Copies of this chain bind each other. A is one copy, B any other.
Amino acid sequence: MKALVKTGKAPGLELKDVAVPGIGPNDVLIKVKATSICGSDIHIFKSTPGYMRGVPIPTIIGHETCGEVIEVGEYVTSLKKGDIVSPESLIFCGECYYCKMGLAHHCQNRKILGVSIDGTLAEYARVPAICCWKHPKDISADLGAIYEPIGVAVHGVLADEVNGKSVAVFGCGPIGLFAIGAAKAFGAAQVFALEVAPPRIALARQLFPDITVINPREQDAAKTIMDATDGLGVDVSLEISGSAEALRQALKVLKSEGRLSMVGVPAGPIELDTHPDIIRKGVRVFGVIGHVVWKTLWQVRTLLETGKFDPARVITHRFPLAEFEEAFKLAVSGEAGKIVLYP
């Protein structure tokens, strides 16, 4: 089969012919219908130093996927041939302390699909059956592919309540846009979005004409937010960009006793002025990773059913897998919305 493989430590990826993976008794084999590009895929493409440690060579990358089950391991009872699924990207064991405590996203034997084990930017992929979310048959391949990243956004948004809250979203990449859509649909009273890349600012404004989109390079973001919130700041900050500066601003514009969800992965350690920004304001900072299995994906399903937000509109580009070079170049530019590849 064709697969997009990280074949060495240098930047770049190769589209190669590899064997279709065999499956174990608890696995399913899925025929990939669509896979979208995640930030971690971009890091592996670029060979970002911190990221490559966890990537064996060779590894098939990719994990935001929609596929059809075409083979079922002998012990599997929860899925059958023809089911349409999206895999969790954090592959959990189901038996460790965290899995038993309902916290499978912190599995002690956690593997990351397309990072520490072979992923889904390929024609076929092997996934443990317990790590699959089953869709209705008629879901579009595109929507199925972006279920996983929508889930990351929703997990960040609903890490605590947003009903009637003012919310500031830092970063308008795909996850940020999903987060804005989710915050609005889940009852945020006021939404601010911060972004520096003009095409993403334009996309945010087009998708959400009724929110305040701020370019902090051109406008005093803190002042804008404070002026619009009685000088109090927002109830909730969602840091999604991974930028140190954004994180510090996310704390600055937060109301006392407010909540910050940290979703974006920073490039390294960050200096924080914890006394004025966290302690004196009594704020609550929540780290957010992956999904709460399966609560988060059920919330994604609910979000879609509300009809208040169509996340497929965040997809701006589509390519056949063979044109991955162009797709990744675009992704690296930081100016696109979500990009989907079809094997």
| Min distance, Cβ A294 to any Cβ of chain B, angstroms | 4
Minimum CB distance partner of A155 in chain B = B282
Query: Is A306 part of the binding interface, using a Cβ–Cβ cutoff of 8 Å?
Result: yes
CB distance B295 to A102 under 8 Å? yes
Q: Which residues of B contact A77 (CB under 8 A)?
A: 95
- For the complex, what is the distance from the CA of A189 to the CA of B306, rounded to whole Å? 6
| Min distance, Cβ A135 to any Cβ of chain B, angstroms | 14
CB distance B298 to A101 under 8 Å? yes
Query: Is A257 part of the binding interface, using a Cβ–Cβ cutoff of 8 Å?
Result: yes
CB distance A230 to B186 under 8 Å? no
1/0 contact trace for A276-298 toward B, CB 8 Å?
00111111111111001111001
CB distance B274 to A271 under 8 Å? no
- For the complex, what is the distance from the CA of A293 to the CA of B94, rounded to whole Å? 13
Which residues of chain A in 14-56 are interfacial with respect to chain B, using CB atoms and an 8 Å cutoff?
A: 25-26
- For the complex, what is the distance from the CA of A275 to the CA of B43, rounded to whole Å? 15
Which residues of chain A in 302-340 are interfacial with respect to chain B, using CB atoms and an 8 Å cutoff?
A: 302-303, 305-306
CB distance B232 to A97 under 8 Å? yes
Contact pick for A164, options B269, B275, B286, B303, CB 8 Å: B303
Given contacts A266-B274, A269-B273, A271-B269, contact A281 B106 (CB under 8 A): yes
Q: Which residues of B contact A279 (CB under 8 A)?
A: 262-263, 265, 287-289
Q: Which residues of B contact A25 (CB under 8 A)?
A: 75
Give the oligomeric copy count: 4
Q: Which residues of B contact A295 (CB under 8 A)?
A: 101-102
Q: Which residues of B contact A287 (CB under 8 A)?
A: 274, 278-284
- For the complex, what is the distance from the CA of A77 to the CA of B98, rounded to whole Å? 17
Query: Is A78 part of the binding interface, using a Cβ–Cβ cutoff of 8 Å?
Result: yes
Given contacts A97-B232, A163-B186, contact A105 B282 (CB under 8 A): yes
Query: Is A7 part of the binding interface, using a Cβ–Cβ cutoff of 8 Å?
Result: no
- For the complex, what is the distance from the CA of A278 to the CA of B162, rounded to whole Å? 21
- For the complex, what is the distance from the CA of A273 to the CA of B50, rounded to whole Å? 13
CB distance A164 to B302 under 8 Å? yes
Q: Which residues of B contact A26 (CB under 8 A)?
A: 75
Which residues of chain A in 175-196 are interfacial with respect to chain B, using CB atoms and an 8 Å cutoff?
A: 185-190
Query: Is A245 part of the binding interface, using a Cβ–Cβ cutoff of 8 Å?
Result: no
Q: Which residues of B contact A161 (CB under 8 A)?
A: 161, 163
Given contacts A163-B158, A163-B163, A189-B302, contact A289 B284 (CB under 8 A): no
13 A-B pairs within 8 Å (CB atoms) are namely A78-B94, A98-B256, A106-B282, A187-B187, A189-B306, A190-B306, A263-B279, A265-B275, A265-B279, A278-B287, A279-B288, A280-B287, A284-B287
Using CB atoms and an 8 Å cutoff, list the residues of chain A in contact with chain B: 25-26, 75, 77-78, 94-95, 97-98, 100-103, 105-106, 158, 161-164, 185-190, 230, 232, 247, 256-257, 262-263, 265-266, 268-275, 278-289, 292-295, 298-299, 302-303, 305-306
The 7 closest A-B pairs by CB, nearest first: A187-B187, A102-B102, A163-B186, A106-B256, A186-B187, A75-B75, A278-B287
